[in-house]
Amino acid sequence: MTLEENKKLVLDHYEALYRHHAETVRKQLSADFVDHEAHWGTIPPGPEAVLRTFEMVHRAFPDLSVKVEAIVAEGDLVAVRGTWTGTHKGSLPP
């Protein structure tokens, strides 16, 4: 994939998460994908970890949004700098 295609893939993934398109997220991620943010409880690797984590975050911050400030790609790596905002209305697991 080109650098631009890699960046688009990451932005498409953000879009799928925010629109709660679970099937799209499942297609985007491999079965052994490790979500390094899925540290609450015993969430197994794979797309379900991402979906579960994002569901928990959305319950705590129902109006959560992210503004992508910059996106950089090199080789097969993509980094995003963004500003996350939301109103804390629920709880997150410890």
The CATH number of 3-85 is 3.10.450.50
C-alpha to C-alpha distance for 75 and 7, rounded to whole angstroms: 11
pTM: 0.78
State the pLDDT at residue 42. 63
The confidence score (pLDDT) of residue 94 equals 67
Separation between Cα atoms, residue 64 and residue 16, nearest integer Å: 14
**Buried b vs exposed e over 61-87: b needs ≥16 C-beta within 10 Å?**
beebeeeeeebebeeeebebeeeeeee
Question: pLDDT tens-digit profile of 45-94?
Answer: 888 888 888 888 889 999 988 899 999 999 989 999 999 999 999 988 76
